[in-house]
Structure formats: C-alpha cells, structure tokens
Amino acid sequence: MTRDMKRLLLAASLLISLCAPAHAGFVEGANAYNAKNYALALKEITPLAKAGMADAQHLLGLMYYMGRGVTRDYKQALFWHRKAAEQGKADAQYVVGAMYYTGNAVPQDHKQAVTWFRKAAEQGHAEAQYALGLMYRHHVAGMPEDPVLAYMLWNLAAASGNANAVEQRASLAKRMRQEQIEEAQSLSAGWKIGTPLPTHSRSGGA
C-alpha cells in the first residue's frame, strides 16, 4: 500500500493540466514549461498565480515541487497547490491530498488527505478515484474496508484511462461475490461527475 501511494505522489508531481484558459500569458508559460524553458515559464506564470488564476497556481506549485526554475520547496508547492485546490482545481486537490497523506511539508493527516482526494474524485479525477479505491480496499486512512466501493472507484478511474485501476479491479474481482460486483457496477453506472460519491455499500461492508 505504501508503495502504491508513493507512486501516486510521483504521478501527482508530474501532472500538468494545460486546458488553457483565454489568457496568452498562461499559454506561453505552459508551453515554455513543456519545452523545459523553466525561466520563461516562471516569468509568465508567477504574476498570474499571484493574481489568483488556479491553473497558474497549480503549475507554479508543480515547479516548486519538482525544483524546476526555482529551488525545490515543498512548503511553497503546498501553498500554491492549496490556493488552486480551494478554487476547485481537481489536479491541485489531488496533489494536496497526496501531500497530506505522506506528510510532505505538512504534518501527516489522513483525514485531510481523504477530504481532498474525495473533492478531486467527485470532479472525475481518475488518480484521486484510484487513491480512494486503494483506501477502501486496504482499510487505511480511517476508511472502512469496502471492496464494493473500491471496485466502483476503480471502475470510474479505469473508464478515464487509469491502467493501475484496471489491474487492481481485475485482482479484486477474483475475491468478490457476484452480488458485490453487480452492486459496484450499478453504483459506478449511476454516478455522475459533480455529485457526492457513496460512503458505504450494501454488500461490501465487513
């Protein structure tokens, strides 16, 4: 489980959302980042982040997290990611959750990690859905063991292309009863992005 969560954090650090808003400076900064011109990226992104643009705050947070164009600083990474997360940026919510889970730059707080993972997952964030699935599967971070919810979440993550979710779901299915699989399938089919995820299942609880 620890190894899986560390992999999640690495994925978070590499995640870049470049669905560009209508602002030339952000597009230029994002393109510069992708071209590894981090000095230019920093110049373009910093004023936008300070002005409150969530996409810019997320990208600046990644630069601090990775030490690209700036000295690596996890506290600054959390600061900017949290600002973006509070504005509803799902990628940033996921990173904040991962940092709380591992205790990176903040005291380890699994309750906070679950809160931020859930916020991102309810926006359809595949990695956050996968992370929550792991928590339900392995009964960690104060989450109940519930294979039905784990399967449901991995179903959603797999539909968004998360390969780890596909593997974990297949492995879990071998240990589940048919009624549990059917409930999980029904839950995932009925869930819509932007609505709360279930916190318990009928047939999956211990």
User: Are 30 and 108 within one domain?
Assistant: yes
Domain count, the chain: 2
Last residue of a domain, one of 117, 152, 181: 117
pLDDT in tens, 93-125: 999 999 999 888 888 999 999 999 999 999 999
User: Are 11 and 33 within one domain?
Assistant: yes
SS3 140: coil
Flag whether 206 is in a domain.
no
Domain boundaries, position 8: 2-117
d(CA 149, CA 166): 15
Instruction: Using alpha carbons, select from 95, 129, 88, 91 the residue that is nearest to residue 112.
Output: 95
The burial class, CB within 10 Å (0-12 / 13-18 / 19+), for 8 is buried
94 alpha carbon, distance to own chain's centre:
3
Structure tokens at 192: 């819509």
Asked if the model's pLDDT at residue 1 lies above 70, the reply is: no
Q: What is the pTM of this model?
A: 0.89
Flag whether 203 is in a domain.
no
User: Are 29 and 113 within one domain?
Assistant: yes
d(CA 165, CA 44): 36
pLDDT in tens, 157-180: 999 999 999 999 999 999 999 999
User: Are 52 and 143 within one domain?
Assistant: no
Element (H, E) at 82: helix 74-86
Residue with tokens 């870049």: 16
User: Are 39 and 89 within one domain?
Assistant: yes
User: Are 82 and 177 within one domain?
Assistant: no
